[in-house]
Chain A
Amino acid sequence: METALGYFLMSWLDPYLLVLVAVGTLAGIYIGAIPGLSVTMAVSILISFTYAWDTNEALALMVGIYMGGVYGGSRSAILLNIPGAPAAIATALDGYPLAQLGEAGRAIGVTTVVSFVGGFVGIGALALAAPLVAEVSLMFAPRDYMLLGVMGLLLVASLSGESLVKGVVAGAIGILVSMVGLDTMTAQPRLTFGSTALLGGVSYVAVMIGMFGVAEALAQLHNLAAPVVKQQVDRIVPSVGTVLRHLPLALRSSAIGVWIGALPGTGGDIAALMAYDHARKSVKNPTRPFGQGAYEGLVAPESANNAAVGGAFIPMLTLGIPGDAVTAVIIAALFIHGLKPGPNLMVDTPHLFWFTVGNLTLANVFMLVFGLTGIRLFAKIVEVPKAILLPIVVVLSVVGAYAINNSLTDVWWAVGFGILGYVLKTYGYQLGPIVLGVILGPIVEANFRRTMITVHDSWLGFALELVSHPITLVLTVGIVLSALRGTPLWPRLVAKLRRSAGTASG
């Protein structure tokens, strides 16, 4: 216990790490607040710069950026009606009407405090649940890892795009990209088209920088003409009464955030939308009607998306399965630093877990402090014209891609994937599943092949494996339900179940 506390307080007591978390959180708030820049983009580009760093320093910075960035997205949602991050989409629905009513300062204050509350609930859940999940996950067989990977891909495919089919196609493209190069089991070249340059595979960091940096910058060029509205922002610290009034909803929404965040593949954006929906259904007397400046419409998504941060770390640290796009990038960073996220991570490097929990807690405190004090500066920063910002994002992507191997080939890859990602996105194929496919592809394939070897390549044996253990059965059922959810059969099934439930109770 004392050791855990020591790891937890590492960043609190080491001035250098403390400054890194603070700088990361501040940078995250700025990045999140600027429309066109996303946390995923920032962390993707940052990975390559932190190659040579000590793991603890790199993690301290990234965790700060993640926590700050999820919160920062609310700024531009409230002030400009442009969510700075996907997790702030729901925030704009009531945040911007509040700004139009002249209550931007108060709205930002409430948002900051409930984000802090949500952040703590998420961190608490991480600290309590992760060690238990890690213990259970030590019982996992290869088939269970395969199923978890498939489940993550299906969830993100069904929830993030315009159709499940396009999401699945995107995920499969990502897996195909991950298969390029020498096969890890047989060292046989795969999908290299006879090129020796492809034997080493495609750098997943280059894919991430391309998809989240270059492609996003190109996509943002569509909205160059969005007008900048200057807001008068004054008093923002909310009264204790206001906080207490919204606390129950903040706690309920945080629970939703933790749960959604902990599901593989789903993150703050979906958590925020679900919490908003929950608020609309559960709050009988909102401060104003929803969509017209209800504070409840801010409290629910903002507490949920910050709670999802802690939740997303649960599958990442215990199973090696990313909870969302940012944790997928952080997994890549851990690989680069020679660590293998998964059940053994908590056994081999227990300090890393409590160190991360400590960093998240510290970042949450910094978020509250910076959020309530740096208000005027933030209002200014969201006004930076995109015509200046987007070319700079491209340059940073180029520098980041080059830093992977000091090779221009990776820069060409990043730009190539950026252009491809932009076109795919334009046609409704989301980029999240592609990047998740690149990260999860090797996990899914290797464990599938291991399972197949144990059943001597028998499909019947494989099918029996999928229902052979309670954990496996739960995962299999989860996958079937996720797949059904995206088909036209789902509403009919739900309606039928409701009817039969109604008949039974009536």
Chain B
Amino acid sequence: MTPSHPRHPGELVFTLLLIAGTLLVGREAVRISGLSGPSSPGFGPLAMVAVVLLGLAYAAVRALLDRPAEREPIVVRLRRLGAAVLPPPVLGAIPVLVLYLIGLELVGFVLATFLFLLVSIVLLDRGRPIRAALVAAGTVGIIWLLFQQIFQVLLP
């Protein structure tokens, strides 16, 4: 019933990272009310941490068992990881997104959004800066008009 899926590149490392993060949450869960009764406020978080840890342990074992018989060179493995998890568009988009949020605090919504759209569209659309600038300006204008003026929503 449970179909066998090939291991995703970097799955074991990712699972181990999730386990480490869950253990941190588990330490915080123990602090709530220790190991007292099931109706105590700490029981639910501890139970969920246990479920996540058990599931992740199973996923880690599966990832270990599904390891290819022949180890590929590290460069090949990193390339496969990049293609599957962080292909160039995603690798570029995440820092641009974080910079956008910082920009919202520093220069306000209109300018930060215009620059974010301009840079993102130029990067994803491979060039065409004039078209990108027109689309970015038009989008900011429409969003400002629609949300600020019609929906009366405050913009960042």
Contacts and interface: CB of A to CB of B under 8 A. Distances in A.
Contacts of B43: 449
B156 A179 contact: no
Contacts of A52: 152
B5 to A, nearest CB: 5
A439 to B, nearest CB: 15
Interface SS majority for chain A:
helix
A398 interface: yes
Interface centre among B2, B58, B85, B94 (most CB of A within 10 A): B2
B155 interface: yes
Interface in B38-82: 38-39, 41-45, 48-49, 51-52, 55-56, 58-59
Contacts of A173: 52
Contact of A399 (B11, B58, B143, B152): B143
B39 A387 contact: no
A168 B55 CA distance: 7
B97 A403 contact: no
Interface in A416-440: 419, 422-423, 426-428
Sorting the interface of chain B by its residue count into under 10, 10 to 19, 20 to 34 or 35 or more gives 35 or more
7 contacts: A190-B42, A222-B87, A399-B143, A408-B101, A415-B97, A462-B38, A487-B1
A52 B104 CA distance: 24
Given A164-B2, A173-B52, 19 more contacts: A49-B147, A52-B152, A162-B3, A169-B55, A179-B44, A188-B32, A218-B90, A221-B87, A221-B124, A390-B120, A391-B121, A403-B147, A408-B156, A423-B85, A426-B8, A427-B8, A427-B11, A428-B5, A457-B39
Interface in B137-156: 139, 143, 147, 151-156
A195 to B, nearest CB: 11
Contacts of A176: 25, 45, 48-49, 52
B132 to A, nearest CB: 8
Contact of A163 (B5, B14, B33, B152): B5
A215 B42 CA distance: 30
Contacts of A408: 101, 104-105, 156
A412 B125 contact: no
Interface string B95-125: 0011011001100000001001100110011
Contact of A169 (B59, B117, B153, B156): B59
A168 B41 contact: no
B97 A457 contact: no
Given A222-B90, A408-B156, A179 B8 contact: no
A411 B101 contact: yes
CB-CB nearest 10 A-B residue pairs: A387-B124, A169-B55, A391-B120, A387-B125, A452-B39, A457-B37, A221-B89, A183-B41, A172-B51, A402-B156
Interface SS majority for chain B:
helix
Interface string B2-20: 1101001001001100000
Interface centre among B41, B56, B101, B147 (most CB of A within 10 A): B41
Contacts of A175: 44, 48
Contacts of B135: 388
A283 interface: no
Contacts of A163: 2-3, 5
A487 B100 CA distance: 44
Contacts of B51: 168-169, 172
A52 B93 CA distance: 32
B151 A395 contact: no
A395 B116 contact: yes
Contacts of B49: 176
B35 interface: no
Contacts of B124: 221, 224, 386-387, 390-391
B87 A218 contact: no
A172 B156 contact: no
Nearest to A410: B156
A12 interface: no
A426 B52 contact: no
Contacts of B45: 176, 179, 190-191
A185 B33 CA distance: 13
Contacts of B56: 169
Contact of A172 (B5, B48, B89, B98): B48
A398 B100 contact: yes
A471 interface: no
B20 to A, nearest CB: 14
